[in-house]
A and B are shown apart, each in its own frame.
Chain A
Amino acid sequence: MIQFLVKRFLWLIVTLLIVYTVSFFLMRSVPGGPFQGEKQLPPTIQRNIERRFELDKPLSYQYFSHLNKIVFQFDFGPSYRLKDYTVNEVIASGFPVSMSLGVFALSFALVLGVSAGVVSAMYRHSVWDVTLMTVATLGIAVPNFVLASLCLIVFVFYLGILPAAGWSSLESVLLPAFCLGAPFAAYIARLTRTGMLEILNQDYIRTAYAKGLTTYSVVTKHALKMAIIPVVSYLGPATAGILTGSLVLERIFAIPGMGTHFVEAALQRDYTLAMGMILVYTLILSVMNTLVDMAYAMLDPRVKLE
């Protein structure tokens, strides 16, 4: 276990270093930095700006100085475009928002997906099964931003039962979390159904029934534990997908999360901010993947961590 964690940690460092290096040199490949262009600044101001962002130093110095600050002080430096804000401040304001949206969406996807999958498998070939699986297949194909736009039109503007945008109440989380989680719920439902169908034919399930257990306890205590393993291994890619999806959904619903800031940073060419965020996203993804692998090993005794 410890060995596994140490190994993962080393890989994480390598990955982060690669991401940092690639984005650093991409960032510096823009001649003259982001401050030359639209309008010519007076030379003194230009020099001041360059000093502030250390653009006047040699490239190797910049590379190590920036890296040093990130590693030892967790300081991503000032934002290029948002005046008087550091990248850390922007991330600190956006992260909790995105985090809660993501957690909401993921738990929503899990609850809805797993229950739909179980119902589908238990009543195989029934009307319920066919309906749920058709909806699931559709749900995988409809892009989340199309779903979100249609939901916005129907629930917000046509029926007027939910607030349009913002991040103030529990109600305003509902629609974005639903739209963000829906495609994953659909995929999880299909995975659960396949898993359940396989498990329900196993001998130990028959034994459980033979002991006189109720269907409810057989399903929840015996079958589900094994059937959910493919779902757990899907949580890694699902997290990546939810991070990506939140880029779009935060924009549609005007939620002040990290996704909105990242897209703005990319559009405004705010390179320091964009780079800081990429590093944070890489970190989240790697941590999540490690957690998923550990959970996988705990659930399935046949899997060994390596």
Chain B
Amino acid sequence: MVSVEKKNTSPQQEVLEKALQVKGVSLWRDAAKRLRKNWAAMGSLYFLVVLALLITFTPLLPLQSPTELNLKDRQYQSPGFGAATLGSSEDLKFKDRSLVAELASYDEEKSNLVDQIAKETDTEKRTELELELATKQGIGHPFNKLWHRPGYITKALIRTRLLVFGDYCIPSLCGTDDSGRDVLSRIFWGGRVSLVVGLVATLVSLIIGVFYGAVSGYLGGIYDAIMMRAVDILYSIPFIFVVIFLITILTEDSNKAFLESYGIDKIVIFYFAIGAIYWLTMSRVVRGQVLSIKNEQYIDAARAIGVSTFPIVFRHVIPNVMGVVIVYLTLTIPAVMLFEAFLSFLGLGVSAPDVSWGLLVNEGVKAVTPNKIYWWLVLFPGLALAGTLFSLNFLGDGLRDALDPKMKNR
């Protein structure tokens, strides 16, 4: 029976079927296969994914308050397993010394007020009540006493956390700092700032660098020469010093007020200042790649059917340099994070009540005295920072090896 069936199909069809079974291996699939074999890079990747998830959903985790001061009995506690609950401090004057109970009474009072406003007919009294409601939602909100200016999403996440875990908190596994704040919780909230600065500033540098490098490489000739000479000059400027200078001037009171009227605050200045340094190397890398692919046939084909310069750059050139860009990206993020930590450490970056890892290490170093060693204030934030930088570097190295065709079959 089998032989009869075989006779029915022509040899051409057979070859075609065989050919269909063979799947082409794209560059990305090949790279992914090689990356999966590199256990150090994969371990780093998993670590970073877990870290990113934890940091994104920090408000959901049963952590203590990162900002609540407790100067009476919780200063400089060494790491331990003492139980802690939210809103238990006497200074907060929470109902039943519990955030859950306080939140319930707050919600009740708020809905009462809203009802009153709806019923009130006298306009004067009505505005008075509306003012009261606004204060209540602002400073009066119990969340604002325990967290620094939580946004809507953060508030919703904290509410979910209260539903799931109640007032329970993870004990101060990493100790407490000079103001009695829980270090573990501050590491998590500080990680949000550190990672966001790393990502956004890298994104800024990516956009500038890729665009500049691609245009310069593609246009070539005199444009390329001028654009790259400019990069050379910028390279020989010690940028870190200029950025420090820039940040001091832009955060001067008068300039600050001016910039804030346009909605630009210190963190935004930060993103752009840092992004403005790191685009240089990116543009060089991209230019080199563009030079090598701009004579490929598919670019000629695009030009032949009449596509103009910028669509070619965006649709054909840039997508093809992405491999190198991604590698460089994973190596830029740790550099940027380190720079942020560095500036915050010097007192020129993120400032209280915001926290970042650099700031935490700085606070730890300030607390070091000959009399008493608060090692946990330096060690744990330092570990968080070093661990993240370490895995980003490892992942970058792994990606570079995986995407490098020379490393094939090794």
Chain A residues near B (Cβ < 8 Å): 11-12, 14-15, 18-19, 22-23, 26-27, 29-32, 37, 137-138, 140-143, 145-146, 149-150, 152-153, 157-158, 164, 240, 243-244, 247-248, 251-252, 262-263, 266-267, 269, 271, 274-275, 277-278, 281-282, 285-286, 289
Contacts and interface: CB of A to CB of B under 8 A. Distances in A.
Contacts of B361: 143, 145-146, 149
A14 B253 contact: no
A30 B244 contact: no
Nearest to B388: A141
Given A244-B240, A274-B248, A141 B386 contact: yes
B215 to A, nearest CB: 22
Interface stretch (B230-238, B285-293, B304-312): B230-238
A221 B299 CA distance: 50
Given A153-B368, A278-B242, A27 B237 contact: no
A231 B249 CA distance: 37
Interface stretch (B57-65, B125-133, B321-329, B370-378): B370-378
Contact of B245 (A11, A143, A248, A274): A274
A67 to B, nearest CB: 17
A172 B358 CA distance: 25
Interface of B: 232-233, 236-238, 240-242, 244-249, 252-255, 334, 338, 341-342, 345-348, 358, 361-362, 364-365, 368-370, 373, 375, 378-379, 382, 385-386, 389-390, 393-394
B236 A15 contact: yes
B368 A149 contact: yes
A42 B237 CA distance: 40
B348 A22 contact: no
8 contacts: A22-B242, A140-B393, A143-B389, A145-B342, A240-B238, A247-B240, A263-B348, A266-B248
A138 B390 contact: yes
A15 B382 contact: no
Contacts of A27: 249
7 nearest A-B pairs in the assembled complex, by CB-CB distance: A141-B390, A146-B382, A149-B378, A141-B389, A142-B386, A266-B248, A149-B365
B242 A23 contact: yes
B373 A158 contact: yes
Nearest to A34: B252
- Most chain B CB neighbours (cut-off 10 Å) among A153, A164, A277: A153
Contacts of B253: 37
Contact of B238 (A142, A158, A275, A285): A285
Given A31-B254, A145-B345, A145-B365, A157 B249 contact: no
Contact of A26 (B245, B345, B358, B390): B245
A286 to B, nearest CB: 5
Contact of A278 (B238, B368, B390): B238
Given A157-B368, A158-B373, A146 B378 contact: yes
Contacts of B236: 11-12, 15, 282, 285-286, 289
Nearest to A145: B345
A248 B345 CA distance: 8
A286 B361 CA distance: 32
B322 to A, nearest CB: 26
Contacts of B334: 141
A30 B386 contact: no
A149 B364 contact: yes
Contacts of B242: 19, 22-23, 278
A181 B382 CA distance: 18
A150 B379 contact: yes
Contacts of A153: 368, 373, 375, 378
Contact of A152 (B237, B252, B342, B368): B368
Contact of A281 (B238, B341, B346, B358): B238
Contact of B346 (A30, A37, A248, A286): A248
Nearest to A156: B370
A30 B370 contact: no
A7 to B, nearest CB: 12
Given A146-B385, A150-B379, A23 B245 contact: yes
A267 B348 contact: yes
Contacts of B378: 146, 149-150, 153
